[in-house]
Amino acid sequence: MLKGYRIALVEDDEFMGNSLEQRLTLEGAEVVWLKRIKRAIGALRTPVAPIHVVICDIKLPDGSGEELYNTLCQTTDPPPFLFVTGHGDVEQAVRLMQAGAVDYVTKPFSISVFLDRLVMLLSSGEQQEFPPITGISAAARRVDSLALKAAKTGRPVLIRGGPGMGKALIAQRIHDTSDRRAAPFVNINLDRVPDVHAALFGPDGAVARVGEGTLFLHTLSRLPDASQSALLDVLQSGFDGCIIATCGLDKQATSTQSGFRSELFDLIGMMEIVVPPLGERTLDAVWLMGQLFETLNHRRETPLQGISRLSEEAARSYDWPGGGRELRTRLRAATENATGEFLQPADLFPERMTSDDRIMTLAEARDIAERRQIVDALVRSGGRVGKAAKILQVSRTTLWQKMQKLEIPSGSD
């Protein structure tokens, strides 16, 4: 995740410093650990190699992180700062952000939240040739990288992902960065066209119009049997254009349920781009909120001042079963109906405020999460407890105990 980055860690606490240094190194970063402001000033003013980001505790034994940042600003343009602060110092952290620092996290924090903030900070500082499409997480950057690779190869591409995940934008990026960009980009949504065969193969159909351009077929599973045969014939008889298609995340299920011809799926899927669910990329959920918020906020008679930190944390903790489409819908309604100065969690998730159900205890939430993981591992292992234990990286005895506690039936082993 952090390979190639050089990070300065300004932290005097041995336990915190060791923990962060070990985790950042494990993620691939080169870490320069500085324990005093006096040494940090010199190391950051004239580094032996470029520093990409500074992680800095606000309270230090010989001063404060604010003093360090302000001192550096007097003589140089410092790297982006991610401040680590206690709840009592949030006001100071906000003041630093207003002065040009990039972000802060409050103690105690989970390492996943910390890494999300760090990746977001590093990504925002990169000068990229093309802006991100699906997000700024490592998984999203891989999707964007594969899109650029697909543009260079010119092969057929199958984009797999759930609803509202930007598959059409990825297809457009492939076309726009390919040698075919001067030719037409013909978009056919097979789920909305009344006569699919005519839209594709009629006298003025997509195949006739695309030439050496790109034919984009949205929702490939909706292609009728007769059109499948016709398209296969076209692709095997010297088609001049490039075909890009989309389907659900589970390719096998899509093919089986729709009775789709496997040879056509295989031909179109010479190169695949898989867009992971948004619930697995919560960093991208926050990024997407920020991308959409400005436009939606301008439509208000009295614009909001921004999205609250609590709303970002709520977005990180949500599974987003409806993907990007659900995020857009929730954010649109929240921005329109918000009554405060900032967008709050209650605006994004009003059902949480109107429900009479009690909030689960942490123990109950942990049991639900563990049950889901154990069931998934058992399904993947074909019900074999020993293999499931290896997947979950626990002993077989531990897994048996948890299964009994959570009342999970066992399969063969």
Task: Per residue of the chain (413 residues), give pLDDT as tens.
Answer: 688 889 999 999 898 899 999 999 988 899 999 999 988 998 898 887 888 899 999 888 888 888 898 888 887 778 888 888 875 566 666 666 655 666 777 777 778 778 877 877 776 554 345 677 888 776 787 888 889 889 988 889 999 988 888 899 999 999 999 999 999 999 999 989 889 999 999 999 999 999 999 999 998 888 888 899 999 999 888 889 999 999 887 766 666 656 678 888 888 888 999 998 888 887 788 888 988 998 999 999 999 999 987 888 888 888 898 888 899 999 999 999 999 999 998 899 988 765 555 566 777 778 878 887 887 788 777 778 888 888 888 888 888 888 888 878 765 44
pLDDT at 98: 57
Domain locations along the chain: 6-125, 138-274, 279-354, 362-405
Query: Nearest to residue 336, comparing CAs of 309, 306, 301, 286?
Result: 301
Question: What Cα–Cα distance (Å) separates residue 210 from each residue in 15, 204, 207, 264?
Answer: 62, 10, 6, 19
What amino acid is encoded at 88 in this protein? Answer: G
Tens digits of residue pLDDT in 213-270: 999 999 888 888 889 999 999 988 888 999 999 988 776 666 665 667 888 888 888 8
Q: State how far the alpha carbon of 263 is from the alpha carbons of 107, 149, 218, 224, 254, in Å.
A: 55, 24, 18, 15, 14
Cα distances from 84 to residues 16, 53, 114, 329, in angstroms, run 11, 13, 9, 33
C-alpha to C-alpha distance for 256 and 310, rounded to whole angstroms: 43
Q: How far apart, in whole angstroms, are the C-alpha atoms of residue 325 and residue 312?
A: 17
Which residue in 411, 413, 397, 404 sits closest to 371, CA to CA?
A: 404
Q: Which CATH superfamily is domain 6-125 in?
A: Response regulator (3.40.50.2300)
Sign of CA dihedral 228, 229, 232, 233: negative
Q: Which numeric CATH code is attached to 138-274?
A: 3.40.50.300
CA distance to 144, 252, 363, 373, 377, per residue, from 370 (Å): 32, 27, 10, 5, 11
Q: How far apart (Å, rounded) are the C-alpha atoms in residues 44 and 11? A: 14
Phi, psi (5° rounding) for residue 103? -160, 170
Place of tokens 């991610």: 82
Q: Can you give the pLDDT at residue 99?
A: 59
Residue 413 has a pLDDT of: 46
Domain 279-354 belongs to what topology?
Helicase, Ruva Protein; domain 3 (1.10.8)
What local confidence, expressed as pLDDT, does residue 178 receive? Answer: 92
Q: Where are the strands (E) in 94-173, listed by range?
A: 103-106, 157-160
Residue with tokens 């942490």: 362
pLDDT score at 127: 39
Is 0.85 surpassed by the pTM of this model? no
Identical fold for domains 138-274 and 362-405, yes or no, is no
Instruction: Check residue 76 and give its pLDDT.
Output: 75
Is 1.10.10 the CATH number for 362-405? yes
DSSP 321: T
Tell me the per-residue pLDDT of 269-323, one tens digit each, with 9 for 90 and over: 889 999 988 888 877 888 889 889 989 999 999 999 999 878 888 888 888 988 8
Angle at which helices 396-405 and 385-392 pack, to 10 degrees? 100
- 320/316 Cα distance (integer angstroms): 9
